[in-house]
Structure 1
Amino acid sequence: MYRFLLTPRWIALHIVVLLVIPAFVFLGRWQFGRFEERSANSTLVTANLAADPVPVESLVSQGLKESDRFRAVTASGSYDPAHALVVRRRPQEGQLGFYVLTPLVTGPGKAVLVNRGWVKAGATADAPPEVPPPPTGQVTVTGRLRLSETEETAGIKDRPGLPAGQVLLIDTGKIGKALPYQLVGGYVDLMKQQPEAAAAPVPVPAPDVGAGGGLNLAYGVQWWLFIGVAVGGWILLIRREVADRKAAEDAPVQEVGAPST
């Protein structure tokens, strides 16, 4: 009754099922891994955003760590507008624009790079944007600590030949080579400052921590459910074939020339 399972057509079906099952297992495990990564990242970023601000020097003095991303920090000093930069290709709320980077000199030979916010792009690609000046004198800033950018982390290809005062990546190591003081590791997205400026760039929004990988968890469960569908469908086809063959064997054989009833 089950010899049909060894026919070429059915052997091909068995191979497909045997290939599909480990593929779905792999895809499910990959989605579960992404869920764990995103959940851990969401937990870390949420905790860092909610933590009380600490002086930036206390975090970067022993080397900036991945776990310090988006940690609330404070810094005091005076802005150096002579070495300010704008960062190209930074859209916000569907509009093209720039980030405004201004070093905050915190002491003799020391500074932290502050992203003061976003300004819209000029009339042409090479036109400089209109940037509100930073406040003068001593200021205290509070912001989110960010890691220095690379082409891999930012997804932006760096290239030479940009207009003066413009960069594509917030690479503090590279930017610091052109400054007369040493930048601390990373940079700070400004949230607030005292005293406030009369006019300021649009603040950079806080990161969206999302659902912590909830979609990845759902996709992982979905892939593993597909395993049950594949195995169940394979068994169903076999049972249907067996039933059809039994029905064919049990059907009465009509003699040749005999009248049908």
Structure 2
Amino acid sequence: MYRFLLTRQWVILTLLGLVLIPVMIKLGFWQFHRHQHKVAQNAQIARNLAATPVPVTELAAVGRTLPHGDMWRRVTATGTYDTAHEVVVRQRTAADEQTIGYYVLTPLVLADGKAVVVNRGWIPAGDDLTKFPHVPAAPTGTVTVTGRMMVDETTAVSGIKDTKGLPPRQVMLINSRQQAKRVGRPMLGGYIEQTAPRTKDNSPELVPEPDHDSIGPHMAYAVQWWLFAAAVPVGWVVLVRRERRDRQTAAAREASEAAQPARTEPAEQAGAVSAPTEPGAGDGEPVARTAGAPD
């Protein structure tokens, strides 16, 4: 009855289903873990943004990678801007996440001679991307900056290619180690994403606070993958039962067609017997009766 399962078509179909089930389950857990990561990240962002600002030197140090748990912590830094070593970061979007422009990076020199990179905000790209754009001037004299502490960008983490041969004073990544080589001054690890003081109308547009309310569709995707995994064996059973039913119907039809000639043969033979003829009639033709002739 189920011998058709040994055919090549059904063996391949069964093996394919056995492969798809664990793959779909794994993809579901992958999306579930992404959901958990997003939830944990949102909680960390909310917690760090609500914390009281601390001096930048409490979190960052020269040659030290900023711990992931300190990302988005609010810090303060007091010093003077080194505008001579100011650079812009290419291909960055404004708050609307559509308009392409630059981030403005300016080293802030602290009282001890060390510096920290400050992302002063976003400016539009302009028409000529081969030249250093017009950048609103940074405040002069001693300033105190408040902002969010961020980890240095790398190609591996950000996915941004560190393109070489760019126009002067233009970079692709915000990286304190790269800036330390350019400036020739010790740089604290990480950088500050400025939030205060608020900029004027002609100053760079401050980077908006990261979204920490949305958790994304990852949990829904995880449930979908698990439903797909459960549907594979159910679909396999449905297909097997349908194939069995179709084969039984076809077999019954063939048996009925094979028995049909055997049932009609006696009737055909009975219909082939001719009417009785009179004795002496030639060629088996019936003799015409004469009216009034005795039988």
Amino acid of the structure 1 residue aligned with 2:236? W
1:116 aligns with 2:120: yes
CA distance 1:109–1:241, shift in 2 (3 Å): same
1:40 aligns with 2:40: yes
CA contact (8 A) 1:115 1:188 kept: yes
Structure 1 residue 99: Cα displacement:
1.0
For 1:97 and 1:257, the matched residues in 2 are separated by: 89
Amino acid of the structure 2 residue aligned with 1:10? W
CA distance 1:65–1:240, shift in 2 (3 Å): same
Deviates more, 1:5-14 or 1:66-75: 5-14
Structure 1 residue 57: Cα displacement:
0.9
Aligned identity (percent) is: 44
Equivalent of 1:80, from 66, 79, 82? Answer: 82
Q: Which residue of 1 aligns with 2:168?
A: 164
CA distance 1:3–1:162, shift in 2 (3 Å): closer
For 1:85 and 1:57, the matched residues in 2 are separated by: 23
Partner of 1:49: helix, strand, or coil? helix
For 1:104 and 1:257, the matched residues in 2 are separated by: 104
For 1:82 and 1:144, the matched residues in 2 are separated by: 24
Structure 1 residue 39: Cα displacement:
2.4
CA contact (8 A) 2:132 2:168 kept: no
Structure 1 residue 231: Cα displacement:
0.9
For 1:198 and 1:222, the matched residues in 2 are separated by: 48
For 1:10 and 1:42, the matched residues in 2 are separated by: 48
Structure 1 residue 30: Cα displacement:
1.9
Structure number with larger C-alpha Rg: 2
Structure 1 residue 188: Cα displacement:
0.6
Structure 1 residue 242: Cα displacement:
3.2
Structure 1 residue 155: Cα displacement:
2.4
CA contact (8 A) 1:17 1:230 kept: yes
Taking only aligned residues, the RMSD between alpha carbons, in angstroms, comes to 2.5
Q: Which runs of 5+ in 2 are unaligned?
A: 265-295
Structure 1 residue 255: Cα displacement:
3.7
CA contact (8 A) 1:48 1:72 kept: yes
Equivalent of 1:71, from 70, 73, 78? Answer: 73
1:224 aligns with 2:229: no
For 2:184 and 2:28, the matched residues in 1 are separated by: 52
1:89 aligns with 2:106: no
Listed one character per residue, the Cα deviations across residues 5-64 of structure 1 (whole Å, up to 9, x for unaligned) are 223332222222212212212222222222222222222223222322211111114942
Deviates more, 1:154-163 or 1:222-231: 154-163
CA contact (8 A) 1:88 1:98 kept: yes
Q: Which residue of 2 aligns with 1:130?
A: 134
Structure 1 residue 225: Cα displacement:
0.6
Partner of 1:109: helix, strand, or coil? coil
Amino acid of the structure 1 residue aligned with 2:116? V
Deviates more, 1:227-236 or 1:152-161: 152-161
Listed one character per residue, the Cα deviations across residues 96-142 of structure 1 (whole Å, up to 9, x for unaligned) are 21111111122131221111111111321113222111112222111
Deviates more, 1:168-177 or 1:46-55: 46-55
Amino acid of the structure 2 residue aligned with 1:165? R
Q: Which residue of 2 aligns with 1:6?
A: 6
Deviates more, 1:184-193 or 1:33-42: 33-42
Deviates more, 1:152-161 or 1:16-25: 152-161
Equivalent of 1:201, from 204, 208, 211? Answer: 204
CA distance 1:256–1:99, shift in 2 (3 Å): same
Amino acid of the structure 1 residue aligned with 2:89? V
1:256 aligns with 2:258: no
Partner of 2:192: helix, strand, or coil? strand
Partner of 1:256: helix, strand, or coil? helix
For 1:178 and 1:248, the matched residues in 2 are separated by: 81
